[in-house]
Amino acid sequence: MIATLARMPAWARWALYAALGVFLLTLVQTISDTERLTQVATAREMLRFAVPIFLAGLGGLFSERAGVVNIGLEGMLILGMWFGAWGSINYGAWWGLAIGIAGGMIGGLLHAIATVTFQVDHIISGVAINILAPAITRYLSEEIWDSPTTSPRTSAVGDWDVPFLAGGTIFGWESPDWLLTISQWEIWYLSDIAQLSRGLLRGTSWVAIIAIALVPITAFVIWRTRFGLRVRICGEMPSAGEAQGINIIRYKYIAVIMSGGLAGLGGAFISTELSGLFQGGNSAGRGFIGLAALIFGNWRPGGVLLGALLFGYVFGLDLRDLDGTASHAMLLVNAIAFTAVGIWAFSRKNRTDTILAAILGFAALFWWIVADTVPSWWSNTLPYVVVLLVLVFFAQRLRMPVSLGQPYRKGET
């Protein structure tokens, strides 16, 4: 089975994982007293929360494929939040996104100067940017908006309903809504897929559409172009690339600056689409979670997107779960997921992961049985718990770029 999955194309493998995930949600929803796990609103919020996580993770992909660890994604995202809000307020929504990208690129440039030119430890440089960015944006907010934490309201670029699938319009004519029709059939599993898909395709932000389009574009650039090959050489064997006449330093700079720009776009999305203003602390650690999505996705764009959707789903569910019933149902989801992870770990003779998965799975099942709901603190904590657990169980099976985090000096072998 595992060998068959390994032979599948990456897109088909990730699509299969997503289908299995929806099947699990449908199964648990049937057992539990809730319908929120596959609602349209849950899927819509999942995508909204996933976009900045995905863009930060995609930015990390370019940087780390070039061999530069980018812990500073959070700071670059915060810079994008502030500059995106400022640009949106002064020049409009689309210019706000562009200026947010530029703000993130400034953070990427600082990280490249520190790590590539001056050989500063990548972790130290990233932490410094994460400390510097909130301080800079606080100072700018006080100087420009007379408030250390909050900006005036921003403008958004708007959204789009996909014609036929989600009832969008074509030159004023309102098309059918096929997914709504399928969801109203109330066919087990099929209608749940239709509801989740409709949530992703109706009222979809243009930034989300651009972000999803970046998945095949990034895959093509990284794996099918000369630029992508040279970026990957920087992260795998830079000395060999230098021997072929490649300017390793230049490509590292480009990749890290691109990384900052993508994280900046994610930040601009937060301040213009998610919250409608810049507010200190609104990043909520999404830059760090984007780094977790990058690791979960094995440094591949499709995997990063699926990881971002996973984390975004938990955030979106928490936003809609006012009475705690959906979070209670997620305990059963966790129990089943831990059982599957335990079986997978046992098949690979990983005793530690098998025991840990068994303990966590039993604990989640026991809590689900003895409680009718969960406290609010668990709903608020669950997204971050999921991030930690994903890293614990999946980080060991991944293959990072060989020279990731290693210093590079021109002329050294």
pTM: 0.92
| Domain boundaries along the sequence of the chain | 38-161+203-317, 321-398
Q: Are 62 and 255 in contact (CB under 8 A)?
A: yes
Look at residue 1 and tell me whether its pLDDT is greater than 70.
Answer: no
Average pLDDT over residues 249-254: 96
Please report, in angstroms and rounded to a whole number, the separation of the first and last CA atoms in the chain. 41
Q: How far apart are CA 344 and CA 63, in angstroms?
A: 31
**Percent of the chain predicted with pLDDT > 90:** 46
Look at residue 133 and tell me whether its pLDDT is greater than 90.
Answer: yes
Q: How confident is the model at residue 42 (pLDDT cuts 50, 70, 90)?
A: confident
Average pLDDT over residues 96-125: 96
Q: How confident is the model at residue 301 (pLDDT cuts 50, 70, 90)?
A: very high
DSSP 176: P
Q: Are 234 and 53 in contact (CB under 8 A)?
A: no
Q: Which residue shows structure tokens 């029709």?
A: 181
Look at residue 316 and tell me whether its pLDDT is greater than 90.
Answer: no
Least confident segment among 145-149, 303-307, 332-336 = 145-149
Average pLDDT over residues 304-327: 81
In degrees and rounded to multiples of 5, residue 124 shows phi and psi of -60, -45
Q: Where are the alpha helices (DSSP H) in 32-72?
A: 40-65
Q: How far apart are CA 260 and CA 328, in angstroms?
A: 38
Look at residue 112 and tell me whether its pLDDT is greater than 80.
Answer: yes
Greater confidence (10 vs 374) lies with 374
Report which listed range, 130-139, 235-244, 402-411, is most confident.
130-139
| pLDDT, mean over the chain | 88
Look at residue 2 and tell me whether its pLDDT is greater than 60.
Answer: no
Average pLDDT over residues 131-154: 91
Q: How many CB atoms lie within 10 A of CB 350?
A: 17
Radius of gyration of the chain (CA): 22
Q: How far apart are CA 95 and CA 77, in angstroms?
A: 17
Both structure tokens of 230: 């040279």
pLDDT digits (tens, 9 = 90+) for 179-237: 989 988 889 899 999 999 998 898 899 999 999 999 999 999 999 999 999 999 999 99
In degrees and rounded to multiples of 5, residue 176 shows phi and psi of -65, 160
Q: How many CB atoms lie within 10 A of CB 222?
A: 19
Report which listed range, 26-35, 138-147, 338-347, 383-392, is most confident.
138-147
Torsion of CA 342, 343, 349, 355, to 10 degrees: 30
pLDDT at site 4: 64
